[in-house]
Structure 1
């Protein structure tokens, strides 16, 4: 399983038309991307994983992330074994605790002690028959405790909505062994005004979630930065500009200790697969 280079993180691959998702996956593989990442906000996630694996032959397909509150560990292990048997070692299971607002909306009061919930989930994956090997899973982790757990119980970490400074600090916590696979949101655009127009509301939705807000506060941003979506915060979280500007940010993550960076493209139409943007980035990042 090669997790170097650059990957693509896309909700379109998970929730868009699955015929186009398969077609796009095959093209992304040919363009040289190393992994395809998809979210899990409910629904048959393993069907979507299988769709991408069937459409490709080499690229890694990863969940970014599998929401542990929505799945029984025994069922997860069974699905993992079936996909691995059919497609080899190309499925990387990213696992995360999601957010209280999302989990409690389905079952009020369920979201409690997320670190303990993750430990229990991993224990049950280890005890399943067959188990999900630690080297085939990574954890969505932002804070020190979850990062340390990932170093002990998984192949590495997949942080989302982070800065290059977070990547540097994470590598210090993990040490040299575990994989560090951050997501980087990007906007291909002509200037700051266009970037802000496309990205501010998108970013504000995440800043309302305590997990992300608290992580950014730990990194030195102020409550006012978050409330106003300040330029300093925006520019640290979202890479924008031409292809060279995006490449610089990816290179900064690598210099800070990332093994692999997955780029998420924001465009004016959130429902359209950003195929042209992926092509432009492939030429610049390959």
Structure 2
């Protein structure tokens, strides 16, 4: 599979206040040659238009849901949306699906988080019945069971918040064919104190979610690494930071470990800004 370089984005892409700036950023990513934009948000939670708007605003850039929660989107409605994107922009939308996290799901009050693996199997069965092909979907997968399911029932896996050692293990489980597209957060910041402060604050929220912390425990990280904002040891494993050469070397570790595509997330300390110059630098170095 040809190596791809993509972008992962959060709040900047979803806020109505930054929507025009986001569409300008998408056009720039398209021109720079990035393969795909991964961005979060569902089809029914008030931000469904970002996927279609980015597709309409660009000519080549792929778009992926990273990640649509199966607890908050009915399969029939999901399938209808995917069919619409495919009709208007053939081959450019990839449906990313995930089981989310118990605290997130239960905080919304609509579901009890139980048997997430079985729930995913049922959801995929429903998408099959609706005619959504496996090659147009990918699963957020961290553990062995979900990684195996992603190879069997989708085009591959999109792990999030993982070090390169997880990418290597995921490739071994997936085999040679399926897509492996990890998200990798980076800090193009030479000042160590600033870089670590931004990265640790980013880590804080994810370490509080059990799916991520349990996955890191499987890789050998313990309580000292996972408490609060996380240890420096964990930060250095997860988040390449420093000058351009150092950051690129950290991203390259994932390709060397078996990734086909890396979804780069440049950390700035403000989720509602877009690090345009950093993405231009990375495009020049990686493509």
TM-score tier by shorter-chain length is over 0.9
Report the secondary structure of 1:261's partner residue.
Answer: strand
CA RMSD of aligned residues (A): 1.5
- 1:45 is displaced (CA, Å) by 4.5
- 1:232 is displaced (CA, Å) by 0.9
The 1-side partners of 2:123 and 2:46 are apart by: 19
Of stretches 205-214 and 38-47 in structure 1, the one that deviates more from structure 2 is 38-47
Q: Say whether residues 1:79 and 2:81 are aligned partners.
A: yes
Residue in 1 aligned with 2:25? 24
Residue in 2 aligned with 1:220? 220
Q: Does the 8 A contact of 1:8 with 1:36 survive in 2?
A: yes
Residue in 2 aligned with 1:254? 255
- Rate the CA distance shift 1:60–1:3 in 2: closer, same or farther, 3 A: farther
The 2-side partners of 1:247 and 1:63 are apart by: 25
Runs of 4+ that moved beyond 6 A = none
- 1:44 is displaced (CA, Å) by 4.1
Q: Does the 8 A contact of 1:4 with 1:34 survive in 2?
A: no
Report the secondary structure of 2:241's partner residue.
Answer: strand
The 1-side partners of 2:122 and 2:247 are apart by: 38
- 1:32 is displaced (CA, Å) by 1.3
Q: Say whether residues 1:208 and 2:216 are aligned partners.
A: no
- 1:196 is displaced (CA, Å) by 1.1
Q: Does the 8 A contact of 1:3 with 1:35 survive in 2?
A: no
Q: Which runs of 5+ in 1 are unaligned?
A: none
Residue in 2 aligned with 1:61? 63
Q: Say whether residues 1:238 and 2:231 are aligned partners.
A: no
The 1-side partners of 2:251 and 2:270 are apart by: 24
Q: Say whether residues 1:272 and 2:273 are aligned partners.
A: yes
- 1:177 is displaced (CA, Å) by 1.1
Q: Deviations over 1:79-128 (max 9, x none)?
A: 10011101111001110011111110112652111001100110100111
Q: Deviations over 1:147-167 (max 9, x none)?
A: 011010000000000010000
- Rate the CA distance shift 1:109–1:19 in 2: closer, same or farther, 3 A: closer
Residue in 2 aligned with 1:125? 127
Q: TM-score if structure 1 supplies the norm length?
A: 0.95
Q: Does the 8 A contact of 2:71 with 2:111 survive in 1?
A: no
Q: Does the 8 A contact of 1:179 with 1:259 survive in 2?
A: yes
Residue in 2 aligned with 1:153? 153
- 1:256 is displaced (CA, Å) by 0.5
Q: Deviations over 1:52-80 (max 9, x none)?
A: 10011111101111111111100110110
- 1:191 is displaced (CA, Å) by 3.4
Q: TM-score if structure 2 supplies the norm length?
A: 0.95
Q: Say whether residues 1:6 and 2:5 are aligned partners.
A: yes
The 1-side partners of 2:2 and 2:132 are apart by: 18
